[in-house]
A and B are shown apart, each in its own frame.
Chain A
Amino acid sequence: MINLKLPEIIRNYLALPLFLAMVATGAHAEVVVIVSANSHVTSLTAEQTARIFLGKTTSFPDGGQALPIDQIEGNAIRDEFYTKVVHKSATQLSAYWAKVIFTGDGRPPVELESNVAVRRAVAKDRNTIGYIDKRYVNRSVRVILEP
């Protein structure tokens, strides 16, 4: 799949030192689902979150528009999110999107390349929803699900 729309490229210079620190301390990444601190949404179930990320709904349960922001393939936190929340492996996810895209039913979410990029994008837009490593949470976003 070649998407001519280039994703927003935001470099995260902290990734490598943090990764090394993680390895050194044996820390395990914990995924959390976030919305903007300005959003009205306070909590979602894993099922509701999965429906948004699979494009089966485009709104939050309260009716507001929901724009999911994904992390790029290869990020460990992405695999953890899809395993824990959506219950799909990378292969199952790719098969799912092949079905949806090729039958014209929809398109996968926009992808950003790091926890920081997702946090910044989610903080800026109250319609967005993303997932990040718990250690990247700050006051600009609200955690609505800790699977």
Chain B
Amino acid sequence: MVIRNYFIALLGFFACVANAEAAATDQPQVTFGGFGSLGVSHSTMGSGDYVLDGGIPKGPGLSNSLSTTNDSRIAGHMAAQMSPKVSVVMQIDAEYHSGNSYEPEVEFANVKYVFAPDVYTRVGRVPLPTFLQSENRDIGYTYAWIHPPVEVYRQEQLTHTDGVEADYRLQTGAVGHSIRALYGRALIATNDPAVLTTLSSKHLWGIFDTAEYGPTTIHAGYQERDTNSGYILTGLADTWVKDSDLSFGAQYDPGNWFAVSEWIQRKSTYKTSAMYVSAGYRVKKFTPYLTYAASSQGSFLPGFPPPSPDGIRLAARAQSTASLGVRWDFRRDTDFKFQLDQVKLSNNSNGFLANVPANVSLYGSKFYVVSAVVDFIF
């Protein structure tokens, strides 16, 4: 709450400064915009809720036959160029989250200082670029899918960190690199009944490289942090656990079609990994695509206290999804998407379903999720 108030105050401050600057130079450099998605989904699995990540308390399935919680949101964006070297960005998102509401939250709020054309730093709430589409995972308009593949993207739920970031762009021959290092901390509200209401991360650091060669993009990242998840995973209070993510992605997009794949290995008290492959073809205003995503069951690492029953349950979660969908760019700055997912839960877990009653076992179940969304930018 304190952090939220701080950011709201910061927004007000930046808006005032930006306006003052605008009035003084009569060349205002302030832009406003936003994006949103209106989505609805249905799941044939009635014994649990199909949710994209642990921060969404309910979804289609057990709680509702039709649900808007996974793919509906609206966000506002403000950017102000204070001087050639200093700019400010603020993004506020309203989406369904752990408070069982669409209460707006600050997604990004940072000040950027450009040292040299290809070197800059940002301070404040900055994006955490774990995946190719991490920073824009809420902006449905920027990709073909209804949402990024669940098995992979839910491995790293954090989308931002409060801290400092350094960026360096480097051109070596025909290959352009964008290298980013960051340090900070994060708080994340969670909704799994076993999980603490707030998962706290500190000493978060990461290094990321995005290399582009013509239509090919390669993304690699490593990050680690200390989290208070030890209580959930081991049952021992005040146990901090080091989490780490190693992630790779490759994308080929020559224009009229695309292929993309990503992989992540995540370690806490257990090690797990997830991957997806996806390809689509653009025919005029339509982009049909296919995706296959899978996550593996976690294996416990040595050197930690024995896992708690919740730790065992969380580590066991694994599932795979085959998806077929289409994006239709039916009007300017607006798209419509339809997607059918076939989800298969592993043989010894309820996968990533939420709110499954304690005495219900859905091991090995197969079900379908149908989703439709309209994405827009303004």
**A99 near B135 (CB under 8 angstroms)?**
yes
Among the listed stretches B22-30, B98-106, B267-275, B310-318, which one makes contact with chain A, having 4 or more residues with CB under 8 Å of it? B22-30
Cα A95 to Cα B142 with chains together (Å): 5
Report A81-111 CB contacts with B as 1/0, cut-off 8 Å: 0010001110110111011011111010000
B79 at the interface (CB under 8 A from A): yes
Chain A neighbourhood of B225, CB < 8 A: none
**B118 near A98 (CB under 8 angstroms)?**
no
Given that A102-B77, A104-B108 are known contacts, is A88 also in contact with B255, CB under 8 Å in the complex? Answer: yes
Given that A5-B27, A58-B118 are known contacts, is A103 also in contact with B176, CB under 8 Å in the complex? Answer: no
Chain B neighbourhood of A92, CB < 8 A: 255, 282
Residue of A at shortest CB range from B28?
Answer: A4
Q: How far is the CB of B109 from chain A (nearest CB, A)?
A: 9
Cα A96 to Cα B89 with chains together (Å): 18
**A91 near B142 (CB under 8 angstroms)?**
no
Contact-residue size bin, chain B (C-beta under 8 Å from the other chain): 35 or more
Contact of A99 among B28, B142, B171, B214 (CB under 8 A): B142
Q: How far is the CB of A70 from chain B (nearest CB, A)?
A: 16
Q: How far is the CB of B12 from chain A (nearest CB, A)?
A: 18
Interface residues of B in 56-102 (CB under 8 A from A): 75, 77, 79, 81, 87, 89, 91
Cα A104 to Cα B79 with chains together (Å): 7
**B142 near A57 (CB under 8 angstroms)?**
no
Contact of A1 among B31, B122, B139, B142 (CB under 8 A): B31
Q: How far is the CB of A98 from chain B (nearest CB, A)?
A: 5
**B117 near A65 (CB under 8 angstroms)?**
yes
B169 at the interface (CB under 8 A from A): yes
Chain A neighbourhood of B142, CB < 8 A: 95-96, 98-99
Chain A neighbourhood of B135, CB < 8 A: 99, 103, 105
**A98 near B254 (CB under 8 angstroms)?**
no
**Which of A57, A94, A95, A104 has its CB near the most chain B CB atoms (within 10 A)?**
A104
Chain B neighbourhood of A95, CB < 8 A: 141-143
A3 at the interface (CB under 8 A from B): yes
Report B331-342 CB contacts with A as 1/0, cut-off 8 Å: 011000000000
**B117 near A58 (CB under 8 angstroms)?**
yes
Chain A neighbourhood of B332, CB < 8 A: 94
Contact of A89 among B87, B110, B117, B255 (CB under 8 A): B255
A124 at the interface (CB under 8 A from B): no
B112 at the interface (CB under 8 A from A): yes
A59 at the interface (CB under 8 A from B): yes
**B108 near A59 (CB under 8 angstroms)?**
no
Chain B neighbourhood of A99, CB < 8 A: 135-136, 139, 142
**A57 near B215 (CB under 8 angstroms)?**
no
Given that A57-B118, A89-B282, A95-B142 are known contacts, is A102 also in contact with B35, CB under 8 Å in the complex? Answer: yes
Chain B neighbourhood of A51, CB < 8 A: 176
Residue of A at shortest CB range from B109?
Answer: A104
**How many Cβ-Cβ contacts under 8 Å join chain A to chain B?**
92
B369 at the interface (CB under 8 A from A): no
B212 at the interface (CB under 8 A from A): yes
Report B104-144 CB contacts with A as 1/0, cut-off 8 Å: 00001010100001100010000100000001100101110
A2 at the interface (CB under 8 A from B): yes
Cα A46 to Cα B108 with chains together (Å): 34
Chain B neighbourhood of A58, CB < 8 A: 117-118
Contact of A56 among B89, B139, B212, B255 (CB under 8 A): B212
**A101 near B31 (CB under 8 angstroms)?**
yes
Residue of A at shortest CB range from B333?
Answer: A94
Cα A51 to Cα B172 with chains together (Å): 13
Contact of A4 among B31, B89, B255 (CB under 8 A): B31
Report A36-79 CB contacts with B as 1/0, cut-off 8 Å: 00000000000100010000111101000100000000000000
**A2 near B139 (CB under 8 angstroms)?**
no
Q: How far is the CB of B158 from chain A (nearest CB, A)?
A: 15
**A107 near B110 (CB under 8 angstroms)?**
no
Given that A56-B176, A98-B35 are known contacts, is A47 also in contact with B214, CB under 8 Å in the complex? Answer: yes
B: residues with CB less than 8 A from A are: 22, 27-33, 35, 75, 77, 79, 81, 87, 89, 91, 108, 110, 112, 117-118, 122, 127, 135-136, 139, 141-143, 169, 171, 174, 176, 178, 212, 214-215, 254-255, 282, 285, 329, 332-333, 377-378
Beyond known contacts A4-B29, A94-B332, A98-B139: 16 more, CB 8 A cutoff: A1-B31, A3-B31, A57-B118, A57-B176, A92-B255, A94-B333, A95-B142, A99-B135, A99-B139, A101-B31, A101-B77, A102-B33, A102-B91, A102-B139, A104-B127, A107-B31
20 contacts between A and B (CB under 8 A): A1-B31, A2-B31, A47-B174, A56-B212, A65-B117, A83-B255, A88-B255, A92-B255, A94-B332, A94-B377, A95-B142, A98-B139, A98-B142, A101-B31, A101-B33, A102-B33, A102-B75, A102-B77, A104-B127, A107-B81
